[in-house]
Amino acid sequence: MSTLDHLNLNERTLVYFTSDQGAHLEEISSINGDIHGGWNGIYKGGKATNWEGGIRVPGIVRWTGVLPAGTHNDQPTSNMDIFPTVVNLAGLPVPSDRIIDGHNLMPLLQGNVLQSEHEFLFHYCNAYLNAVRWLPRQSDSIWKVFFFTPNFYPVNSNSCLHTHVCLCTKGYITHHDPPLLFDLSKDPSEEIPLTPETEPNFHLIMAVVRQAVANHTKTLSDVPNQLSLSNAFWKPWLQPCCSSLSELCVCDKDNSDANL
């Protein structure tokens, strides 16, 4: 921040400081086995889970003269939003040849809109759809549905110490039928799953979420094999300077530090 101010770049630079996950609860020393796991406050779970402790992280944003200072916004956004935000700021259109799951954050950050464009957020554990967050329009409720949850170890704990991180595969998870339902606006710690007896709209909420999942699934397509021979084969013309083959490109090593 000080460097941006010193170089008079603070009014031309969007700074976005955030994380992709909550604290790793199972972090263990490789030397003596001491547990150095982090802490996620009131939120359940941590790294590698889709409990709030695994995915709810703060974001700190600054752009002097463009974004209002000292404001707070609790709308759910995603790191997927970074790409369309940057593309928009560059004055370019987002690609139209694929589904872009993120949204431009600038209207929300500038206070021009009050609600995130993400009515639904789909939370995956590896390739498996684990949970869905639904923020209904014109509602204070934030519904979250879990199709399966990790098996904590020790039982009744908040982490997976036996595997050093919670896994998503058979034997390490419990599937739920019907899925678990939480209202994060009232139960951010995800302690009390709702039932048809405790939530009158239980079946309606499940129906809406299942339809959203069906619509979301239609947008998915297989990714080409990233480890195919053509992708894995070394391409010297794509190698950064300096090349090891007859100087395909030239670097100024003597001045490299000065140019940083």
CATH number at residue 144: 3.30.1120.10
Q: Is the pLDDT of residue 5 over 80?
A: yes
Instruction: Please state the rounded mean pLDDT for residues 136-164.
Output: 94
DSSP string for 116-143: -S-SEEEEEETTEEEEEEE--TT-S--E
Closest residue by Cα to residue 216 from 145, 135, 120? 120
pLDDT confidence bin for 98, thresholds 50/70/90: confident
Residue 13 maps to a domain: no
Q: What percent of the chain stands above pLDDT 70?
A: 91
- Cβ(77)–Cβ(59) under 8 Å? yes
Higher pLDDT, 227 or 35: 227
Dig out the tokens for 138 from the structure: 């014109």
**Residue 200: domain span:** 118-220
Residue 143 maps to a domain: yes
Indicate the average pLDDT of the chain. Answer: 90
> pLDDT digit string (tens) for 177-220?
999 999 999 999 999 999 999 999 999 999 999 999 999 999 99
Structural domain total, the chain: 1
Residue 138 maps to a domain: yes
Residue 36 maps to a domain: no
Residue 188 maps to a domain: yes
What burial class does residue 164 get, using C-beta atoms within 10 Å of its C-beta: 0-12 exposed, 13-18 middle, 19+ buried?
A: middle
Residue 56 maps to a domain: no
Beta carbons within 10 angstroms of residue 253's beta carbon: 9
Full-model pTM:
0.85
- Cβ(16)–Cβ(154) under 8 Å? no
Residue 104 maps to a domain: no
Cα distance between residue 6 and residue 41, in whole Å: 36
Residue 150 maps to a domain: yes
pLDDT confidence bin for 259, thresholds 50/70/90: very low
Beta carbons within 10 angstroms of residue 204's beta carbon: 10
